[in-house]
Chain A
Amino acid sequence: MSTRVLVPSGVLGLGFDSDALRRGIAWRPDIICIDGGSTDSGPHYLGSGTSKYSRDATRAEWAALLAARAEAGVPLVLGSAGTSGTDATVEWMFAITDEIAREKGWRLRVATLSSSQPAARVAAAIGRGRVAPLAPRIGPDLSAADLHACANIVALAGAEQIGAAIRTGADVVIAGRTTDTALISALPIMNGDDAGAAWHGAKIAECGALCSTRPLSGVVGVVFDEHACTVEAFAEGARCTPETVAAHMLYENSDPFVLHEPGGHLDASRAHYEAADNRRVRITGSQWVAARSYRVKLEGARLAGYQTTILALVRSERYVRNIRTWLARLESFVKREIASRTGLVEGPDGYGIEFRAIGVDAALGLLETKPSNPSEVGVLVIVTAKSQARATDIARLVNPFLLHFPLTEDEELPTFAFPYSPAETERGPLYEFCLNHVMEIDDPMDAFGLEVRDVGDGQTR
């Protein structure tokens, strides 16, 4: 049988074209799937278990998708809820869903999928030789202590766990961390459509309309069948062409032909993209290669200290011209001052300090090749220490020197511009990604939890 999957956008919170969504609903999808997260915004969201996107923006978009779901009469599936897909952000989305359901007078059956991993479960798997590092290796062999040091660990769910959530018959699925593709491939695979086409079509549609000529419009649809998949975009004038679709297979994927998923991999090396008409593309020839064991990828973030930043603006022409010399002198002077006044030395047990010259090489550092001739330079100092209080105290120690440090010893002290008072800004905890591993499990549901709850107090679904 064929399966029609509607993808409103690459991620919940980024917005979509509402006319395109209307056309997508009229296309009569069997399911509506949207991704809610990624690691792409950095380790903070996994470490803290919070969402990157605004609650109001998320709520408004989710309300529009819940209404679209009611109109279409099909399940709505959200993956990687609340950016990181931890239990905390799954519950955050569940609470938002409950609020909307009450407001609209709906009564909805919601399945939540938990992807959070207790450290003890992963530690036990290490003990049984069931955790393996991926390339590139990011440290020595993983220990139970490393796992207990994580603020949060999640495993990425695949098509099996999403399939189990859909099979509960829920109106809405709110899943924890999930591969972007598994959300979309789950129903076609359950329906017996071609698995290679299911995963390949899912990869193409995972970022919404990025695979089309109108990347910002969001809404795309994929029809999956026994042999192939066909992808189209729904915004006015948006077209999917063999070129735009083939190009998306490269997106944020280190290998353009292979996509690793729980339980196997997609081999797209012999895939063929052809124009079904002037706005739809049919993909054939993709292969799903099942693995001998079922392995899920792990993500973890641990606390790496606390940060305080301080920013000064240097506008003086002479200082700007000599900014590298001045910064090098300031940096060594400041480090000596910190050592003599606090006894702390740079390093994991002491503190860390970065000087970034905005307007010179802040984005690229030593790789920067372009000579710059800016009118002003922003000097951003980032202090990292074991406690927030310590980081802020070091930043306060740096403060007067950043403001007044002279280029040479025998000149009047300059005063640069601080844009606000206090000049120091506490950034809070710094998290770092600390797992690049896979964990083998016997049954796909072994490391995941499924719960079905009703929300809202109305009569209609």
Chain B
Amino acid sequence: MARLGDLVRGIRSKNAGPFMITVDVFCATGESFDRVRAALSAAGIARVFGIDPASVSMFEIPGALALKFSFPRPAIQGSRHDRDMHGAQLALLLEEADFPGLEET
């Protein structure tokens, strides 16, 4: 099992305002960027976070060797059901996740 977190330089999740979460995946090399880009998709991200794939926007930023995923917050920031004010623990789920295709090459 290859965990995504072991193959990239870093993953962070943050609020983008009170209503959105944005997750950034930073790769160390161009080769790793290509491999991770091929393995990750909006649907894969939606599975990890238990959300609707149609609500996920995916961006590729080759200049920063980064991928970005943004989606509406599962609970509005600071509302009664919110567990994590800054949304930063969500990144850990992605770090610990395994994606088909990640181990090849």
Contacts and interface: CB of A to CB of B under 8 A. Distances in A.
B96 A370 contact: yes
Contacts of A56: none
B50 A366 contact: yes
Contact of B93 (A354, A369, A384): A369
A362 B83 contact: yes
B63 A273 contact: yes
Contact of B64 (A249, A254, A369, A430): A249
Contacts of A136: 19-20, 55, 72
For this complex, into which size category does the number of interface residues on chain A fall? 35 or more
A254 B17 contact: yes
B19 A253 contact: no
A39 interface: yes
Nearest to A136: B72
B59 A304 contact: no
A446 interface: no
B76 A432 contact: yes
Given A250-B61, A257-B59, A43 B78 contact: yes
A138 interface: yes
Contacts of B57: 254-255
Interface string A217-253: 0000000000000000000000000110011011111
Contact of B59 (A256, A352, A370, A433): A256
A364 interface: yes
Contact of A430 (B18, B61, B76, B80): B80
Given A253-B22, A255-B57, A257-B59, A42 B89 contact: no
B98 to A, nearest CB: 11
A431 B77 CA distance: 11
Contact of A39 (B65, B66, B77, B96): B77
B80 A252 contact: no
A384 B81 CA distance: 11
Interface residues of B, number: 38
B83 A356 contact: yes
Given A39-B77, A369-B96, A433 B18 contact: yes
Interface string B63-105: 1111010101000111111011110011011001000000000
A304 B89 contact: no
Contact of A40 (B15, B49, B59, B65): B15
A367 interface: yes
B26 A44 contact: no
Given A39-B17, A246-B63, A364-B89, A432 B79 contact: yes
B16 interface: yes
Given A252-B22, A256-B59, A247 B83 contact: no
B93 A364 contact: yes
Contacts of A384: 80
Given A304-B80, A370-B96, A247 B26 contact: yes
B78 A44 contact: yes
B78 A432 contact: yes
Contacts of B70: 254-255
Given A136-B72, A363-B89, A433-B19, A250 B64 contact: yes
Most chain-B Cβ atoms within 10 A of its Cβ — which of A256, A257, A304, A362? A256
A42 B85 contact: yes
A367 B50 contact: yes
A250 B19 contact: no
Most chain-B Cβ atoms within 10 A of its Cβ — which of A43, A304, A356, A370? A43
Nearest to A251: B14
A354 B72 contact: no
Nearest to B62: A246
A76 B34 CA distance: 45
Nearest to B81: A354
Contacts of A363: 83-84, 89
A436 interface: yes
A419 interface: no
Contacts of A304: 79-80
Interface of B: 14-20, 22, 24, 26, 49-50, 55, 57, 59, 61, 63-66, 68, 70, 72, 76-81, 83-86, 89-90, 92-93, 96
17 contacts: A41-B85, A138-B19, A253-B16, A254-B17, A254-B57, A255-B57, A256-B61, A305-B80, A356-B83, A363-B83, A363-B84, A364-B84, A364-B92, A367-B50, A367-B90, A431-B78, A433-B78
Given A251-B24, A256-B66, 17 more contacts: A246-B63, A249-B64, A252-B14, A253-B16, A254-B20, A254-B57, A255-B70, A273-B63, A354-B80, A356-B83, A363-B84, A364-B83, A366-B50, A367-B49, A384-B80, A432-B79, A436-B18
Across the A-B interface, give the 6 residue pairs with the lowest CB-CB distance, nearest first: A42-B78, A254-B16, A254-B70, A246-B64, A136-B72, A433-B18
